[in-house]
Amino acid sequence: QVQLQESGPGLVQPSETLSLTCTVSGGPVSSYFWSWIRQPPGKGLEWIGNIWYSGTTNYSPSLKSRLFISVQTSKNQVSLKLSSVTAADTAVYFCARAPSLGYFYESGGYLQRLDAYDVWGQGTMVTVSS
């Protein structure tokens, strides 16, 4: 049974970089998409971005300039770095897995599609405060 465990500092200073790791156990990172999703206190879920195990990324436009997601296949880990954080980045951060559905020919080109997020971590709370 695949399990995901997020880890990282619970408190980050404003303007600094938030760094989180998602450790995957019970299965490989290969052949899956891996995503980060967050939930600010009292609010809903916000998609941050994802990465294909080979390294191809897609980021939320609102976070793209501050965001870096990477995968370390040898360690079975996925990492998130979010720079120049503010109080608005305070949230529970989840990692999640999505299976690949392969390539679809659409709109004149090939698009790699992923399916819904079938495995999630429990989440880790990150507070941005001085």
Residue of the chain from 85, 98, 126, 128 that contacts other proteins (CB under 8 A): 98
- 87 is a site residue for other proteins (CB under 8 A): no
103 φ, ψ (degrees, to nearest 5): -100, 135
Cα separation, 104 vs 11, whole angstroms: 42
Query: What is the Rg, in whole angstroms, of the alpha carbon atoms belonging to the chain?
Result: 15
C-beta separation of 24 from 13 below 8 A: no
Is the CB of 12 or the CB of 37 nearer to other proteins?
37
- 36 is a site residue for other proteins (CB under 8 A): no
| Cβ 18 to other proteins shortest distance, Å | 19
Residue 25 class from Cβ within 10 Å (0-12 exposed, 13-18 middle, 19+ buried)?
A: exposed
C-beta separation of 102 from 113 below 8 A: yes
Is the CB of 58 or the CB of 83 nearer to other proteins?
58
Residue of the chain from 18, 96, 126, 128 that contacts other proteins (CB under 8 A): 96
Stretch that binds other proteins, among 23-31, 47-55, 73-81, 82-90 (CB under 8 A): 47-55
- 47 is a site residue for other proteins (CB under 8 A): yes
